[in-house]
Amino acid sequence: MLDTKVIVGEGVAKQHEMVVTKLVIWTKWRKKERPSKNKKWWKLEDEDCRCKLKEKVIKSGVLEGQSDWETVANVMRSTARIEFGESVGKRRLEDQETWWWNKEMQESIQAKKEAKKQWDISREETSKEEYKSAKKRGKQDVAKMMNKAYKELYDRLGTKGEAGCCQSEE
């Protein structure tokens, strides 16, 4: 408390007086949490890496018996960290692995950027409509290619009941 005073005559009742106080509240600054390191899941593209991960998880025995989801997920994360490694530090967007990105999508996004530049320069209604349609096409192209790439990845990984590329010899 820096300063406290009573204001005489400002009370609601005779026995009460108004008290005014100046306070300074010090807060402790918290350190920002570092972002957690991500596993390099994109390495699942490689057939050998998929097999190694699958074998290690099967050998751990977590899939047999009454394991809950949290236990299975923790085993898979720790195995992936050991097998694939972790990313380090912050990466710029252009340095990130975009394994599903292709030339068609790049051209679509480039067309959207060019339309935006034209609209920024001219500010005409026709250029605005061209930009809107290019933006819509770009979003649709990205969504289609992402869905296609992930579907192919899921097909290669196999489903839950399949042994996939690695047949256990028991």
What are the per-10-residue average pLDDT scores of the chain (170 residues)? Answer: 80 76 79 68 80 82 75 82 73 55 82 90 89 91 85 74 47
Q: According to the model, what pLDDT value does residue 163 have? A: 46
Place of tokens 């192919």: 152
Half-sphere exposure of 44 (CA within 13 A, CB side): 21
The residue type of 67 is: S
Q: According to the model, what pLDDT value does residue 36 have? A: 64
- The phi, psi pair for 6, rounded to 5°, reads -105, 135
Half-sphere exposure of 158 (CA within 13 A, CB side): 12
Q: According to the model, what pLDDT value does residue 130 have? A: 92
- How many CB atoms neighbour CB 122 within 10 A? 11
The three-class DSSP label of residue 97 is coil
The model carries a pTM of 0.38
The residue type of 22 is: K
Q: According to the model, what pLDDT value does residue 99 have? A: 67
Q: According to the model, what pLDDT value does residue 97 have? A: 55
Q: According to the model, what pLDDT value does residue 77 have? A: 82
